[in-house]
Structure 1
Amino acid sequence: MVIGSERFCVNRKIAPNLTLENFFRLVARCGLSKVELRNDMQGGKVTDNLSDTQLNRLATEYNIEIVTINALEMFNRIEDKATLLKKAETLLKQAKAINSTAVVMCPDCNAGDQRSDTQKRADTLTALQLLAPLFKHYNVKGYVEPLGFGSSSLRSSLLTQSIIRDSAAPYKIVLDTFHHYLTDTAQQDFDAQIQIDQIGLVHLSGVEESLAKEALTDEERIMLSDKDRLASISQVHNLERLGYQGTYSFEPFSSQLNNWTESDIEREIRQSIALLQA
């Protein structure tokens, strides 16, 4: 199976200790051109200490396309709608300023959440409808990422797809192979119900740890391997079979990444691509 290099993307989470320029240079060295930036890196700013103009200049120099900013967190907590709208607008202004195609939206994962499943669904729908005019105004796409943790208020891609449909707004789904694995969605149900054209992005990582599934966290997420419990490679093959032609973004999370050198990162990216194209 051949997936063109133009369809691969690298999430900045893989390079917590690199400057943005070094990150862009590394991505380009791997023969890739797409990245995801984040607002949860050290320093808390999407552009680090760079101005929007400086970042845009670097993106042009290294031929980098910013696919998303990750993320508008807890987007489906609507107790304080004014604060939610302010957070969203701040991120959307940033996305527009640096030519980011989309903003990723993540649900609340508070283990103490007392809302019923019905209320969580209703609040998610309300939030999507509330935020839709802002996304339209800034002409930035909204990518909703269900998180498979047991504490998550929005776990499955099929549920997310249903709520997006009810919102009547043009959001798309981020399908994450780690979170999809955690949900235990039956393969037959997924294949029969998923609308492939509603997937805006796929996040890839791998897990080799032997912990119980319910005990897995972001800490166990590394890059792809032939020992991957998530079967991310098989998930990709299935998505391709179903007709997905979008972007795959490598998004490992483990604290191991703090010790990776640029050479380590480049090796892991190249090895993961090779496994997917084998």
Structure 2
Amino acid sequence: MNQPLRFALNRMVAPRLTLPEFIELAVALKADAIEIRNDLEGVEIEDGTPPQEVRRLCAARGIQVLSINALYPFDLWNDERRAQALRLAAYARDCGARGLVLCPLNQLDDPRSVAERNAGLRTALTELATILREHGLLGFIEPLGFEECSLRRKRKAVEAVRAIGGLDVFRLVHDTFHHHLAGEQEFFPELTGLVHISGVEDRAVPLASIRDGHRVLVGKGDILGNRAQIETLLERGYSGYLSFEPFAESVHALADIRQALGASIDHLRHALA
């Protein structure tokens, strides 16, 4: 590898820290970018922090906001989703974020046919493209690898984006967890705008039963193939951020998240050297 790894921190890394503490964590790790979320109680955005305050705090420490994570379920387009998208887009613009993460419906009892899902996806992307252009944002589409998800693989997202003429405003999120769960073999580095990384080390759980709660920091015991996935992306031209996104309570409860993240960063740098 002939380029340095660029790390970022998703708010899910440390949901119990205040925003200033979270920013200082990124600074201490020499990670110059973060993602904030709209699904965590007690912190921004849910606590009412104005977007201008997020922008001010980040700018003061040289931190870029990559995204707000996430508009969900973006592919079920209706008046409620439009209003939600407009609120998030305005917040993203005002806090200085590059874009919005877009997550598809992940629900076992989705009654729609395949054709209806495909049509819904294209309708949503068409509507979102206008909103994103008006706000100067990118839309980061994140397929979820769970069997019940309406959009499991990146190929389907790429085909839909191309069909609606949205290559100017849409990018993919390559999530190493979801890529593995979906059994994906295809990579789209030229259309990838963001990479989410997390590891799973529990070998006793069947693949179909792995959920967000199993997602820890990437280490030697990882069974998702993070090293191989990242290596492939880098070799094929991806040069963006690798954003840590562990959901496991065992990570959130760590007494020293800085040390744990530092160890994971060192592991990845060594593995990809």
What's the TM-score, normalizing by structure 1?
0.92
The residue type equivalent to 1:23 in the other structure is F
Offset at 1:47? 6.8
Counterpart of 2:66 in structure 1 is 67
Aligned to 1:146: 143
2:262 corresponds, among 270, 274, 278, to 270
State the AA in 2 paired with 1:64.
I
Question: What is the letter of the counterpart of residue 98 of structure 2?
Answer: T
Match of 2:227 in 1: 233
Tell me which amino acid in the other structure corresponds to 1:109: N
**1:201 correspondence with 2:194:** yes
Q: CA deviation at 1:242?
A: 1.4
CA distance in 2, matches of 1:44, 1:246: 26
Residue 155 of structure 1 is matched in structure 2 by: 152
Helix, strand or coil at the partner of 2:12 = helix
| Corresponding letter in the other structure for 1:199 | T
CA contact (8 A) 1:3 1:277 kept: no
Instruction: Could you tell me which runs of 5 or more consecutive residues in structure 2 were left unpaired when the two chains were aligned.
Output: none
Amino acid at match of 1:100: A
- Is 1:122 the counterpart of 2:115 in the alignment? no
Contact 1:65–1:100 at 8 Å: present in 2 too?
A: yes
What residue ranges of structure 1 are gaps of 5+ in the alignment?
none
- Cα offset, 1:177, TM superposition: 0.3
Q: CA deviation at 1:48?
A: 3.4
Partners in 2 of 1:255 and 1:276 — Cα distance?
Answer: 22
Higher helix share: 1
Distance, in Å, in 2 between the alignment partners of 1:69 and 1:147 is: 17
Seen in structure 2, the aligned counterparts of structure 1 residues 108 and 8 have a Cα distance that, compared at 3 Å, is same
With normalisation by structure 2, the TM-score equals 0.93
Q: What residue is the counterpart of 1:16 in the other structure?
A: 15
8 Å CA contact 1:47, 1:55 repeated in 2:
no
Could you tell me which residue of structure 2 aligns to residue 4 of structure 1?
4
Structure 1 moving runs of 4+ over 6 Å:
none
RMSD over aligned CA atoms reads 1.5
| Paired position in structure 2 for 1:177 | 176
Deviations 1:144-202 (A, max 9, x none): 000000110000012211111112113110010000001112x3xx1xxx432110101
